[in-house]
Amino acid sequence: MRVKRMSFFPTQPRVVSAQGRIQPGSLNPDATRVVERLQSAGFEAYFVGGCVRDLWLGRAPKDFDIATSARPRQIRRIFRNCRIIGRRFKLAHVVFRRPDGTEHIVETATFRRAPDPQDESPDELLITDDNTFGTAAEDAARRDFTLNALFFDPRHWCIIDYVGGLDDLQRLRLKTIGDPNIRLREDPVRILRAVKFASRLNFKISFDTYDAMVRHASDLHRAAPPRLLEEILRLLRGGHAFMSFQLLHQCGALAVILPEIVHFLDNESRQGPRGKFYKDLFWRDLTALDESVKSGDPVTPAFLEALLFYRIFERELDPNRRRSDYPIRDPLQVADATLDPFGRRLRVSKFDIGRAKQICGAQTRFFIKAGKKFRTQQFVTQESFAEALAMLRMHCVALEGIADAAKLWSTYEAWYQLFKRKHVSSGDPSDDPEYFESPAAEPTFDELWHLPIKQDRDESRPPAAPPKNVTKVAAPEPEPPPEPPPPAADVEPVSATTLQMANARAASRVPKPVPDADAPSAPPKPARESLKFKITRPDAKFDFPENPMIVAEDPPMFGNW
């Protein structure tokens, strides 16, 4: 039986004034300039997507996307600061230079429409090509949810609604455009997007949409692994990871994209009160992550992946709880066995999956006593130490209220003080015995990952004073440099330049005189005006160079969590 794709192309939109609902100061001036210039050139151009939804709800949009009837080459003729990107579907990026030297990119896309029904197989609805240009009505109808299909016209200051998205915004309801069974089969990743919007906006999912999510959750295995990975990371870094993963678990999508997590939760549920304790720790980790993200702390993909699989890694290290058949060896080998299936299935980059393994493996080293086989100074200077220490703090927050976390907090504070002393102090820590007696500060993740690495001690410290209680011995008088022998009669005379160089070499071999202890010592070197900081990029997605060197006038301040 052939299932027809949705063919809902309304031509008469609902136009609602946005006066009093959208404030003029909430619009980005660069994006507004792009829309107005396209409209002045005779094209349709509107704000579209999540920015319109957020503006209507009174939220600050993360970015401003523009949809227009102009083709990419036509956009490029209008804007000299435009570049066309994309191979499968071309987009126009209008680039604006900011006073600080950075770039602000306004992404402009041409209206598209859904693919033609005659081009698809009778039983396959998965969209593989949607690169056909269309009208504004067709572009709205091809989108996933009604709340993301609204247009905003800044010239007339009105909302253009083709699919009933304003009604759903008023009811705080998430609903697909058209038949949800067809729309979710066209793109199964829309299940994860529905969970993201429902948890982030605190919207209720309509009954027919949720029923389709449960019915077609198994289709997620057909989606591209990089898209699945990106949506999982967005759920984790969005500040609503707990609610998002609860919804994923209820609708059955979590068992498809992260079967290891579901297997862990099911096994712990059958282990009685102790198993329930470890199951609750997983959800408490996500709650602690939400609090951290909402406070503005940066998170990297490797840190999120390590946090997601840490409780499984912890179980496999315990001989009484482990479920795997491989022998218990080094913690990094256990991390390999825990994270490798996830990394291969979702095609995680080698850098991220390797750093996640280091973060997990480092948690066991926080409780090892220093000795010949374990050097604390070497451990503190590792590149992954800051993220590992942030993970330890996350566990301290997760254990609050259900276990005695005082010992864990003291362990964290001791390591943080050592980390702070190693990376911030410019002198010898033994010269400041009161440093550890001060109460431990509670750093944020941003402070942990942007701490400066001190320069070499020989460059930053003043010259050492002479030791006390030492008998002063007068230095011997230096002998004058020997005179060079006269040249032989049958040898060509030596030039004045050669003789001067020989005298200089002979003088350099003479030992320098030892200064008298009673003589005034040389003034110390003036302190540098600025320190060089070595920072690690907070997210590989950003265009940050690897470990850039920047100059800062003052060291960072340490505040509360």
User: Minimal CA–CA distance to 287: which of 400, 456, 426?
Assistant: 400
Respond yes or no: is residue 54 known to be catalytic. no
DSSP letter string, 204-271 = EEPHHHHHHHHHTGGGGGGS-HHHHHHHHHHHHHTT-HHHHHHHHHHHT-HHHH-HHHHHHHHHHHTS
End-to-end CA distance of the chain, in Å? 59
Pair of tokens at residue 549: 């060197």
CA atoms within 13 A on the CB side of 503: 9
- Cβ proximity of 160 and 13 under 8 Å: yes
Pair of tokens at residue 60: 């600050």
User: Minimal CA–CA distance to 361: which of 286, 301, 306?
Assistant: 306
Active-site position among 54, 139, 144, 297: 144
- What are the helix and strand counts (H, E) for the chain? 22, 14
User: Minimal CA–CA distance to 286: which of 237, 241, 232, 233?
Assistant: 241
Query: Is the Cα torsion angle 130, 135, 136, 138 positive or negative in sign?
Result: negative
CA dihedral of residues 538, 544, 547, 548 (deg, nearest 10): -130
Respond yes or no: is residue 63 known to be catalytic. yes
d(CA 493, CA 504): 19
Respond yes or no: is residue 432 known to be catalytic. no
Active-site position among 63, 130, 153, 179: 63
What pairs with residue 173 in β-bridges?
Answer: 204
Burial class of residue 405, CB neighbours in 10 A (0-12, 13-18, 19+): middle
- Cβ proximity of 64 and 45 under 8 Å: no
d(CA 313, CA 277): 16
- Cβ proximity of 167 and 150 under 8 Å: no
Interstrand relation of 158-161 and 65-68 (parallel, antiparallel or unpaired): unpaired
Active-site position among 65, 161, 187, 352: 65
Query: Is the Cα torsion angle 209, 213, 214, 216 positive or negative in sign?
Result: positive
CA atoms within 13 A on the CB side of 225: 10
**Cβ atoms < 10 Å from Cβ of 187:** 18
Instruction: Tell me the C-alpha to C-alpha distance, in Å, between residue 482 and each of 47, 491, 494, 505.
Output: 88, 21, 17, 11
- Cβ proximity of 113 and 134 under 8 Å: yes
SS3 for 533-553 is: EECCCCCCCCCCCCCCEEEEC
Helix (H) or strand (E) holding 489: none
d(CA 474, CA 463): 22
Q: How large is the C-alpha radius of gyration of the chain?
A: 33
Our measurement of the distance from residue 3's CA atom to the centroid of its chain's CA atoms, rounded to an integer in Å, reads 41
| Residues known to be catalytic | 63, 65, 144
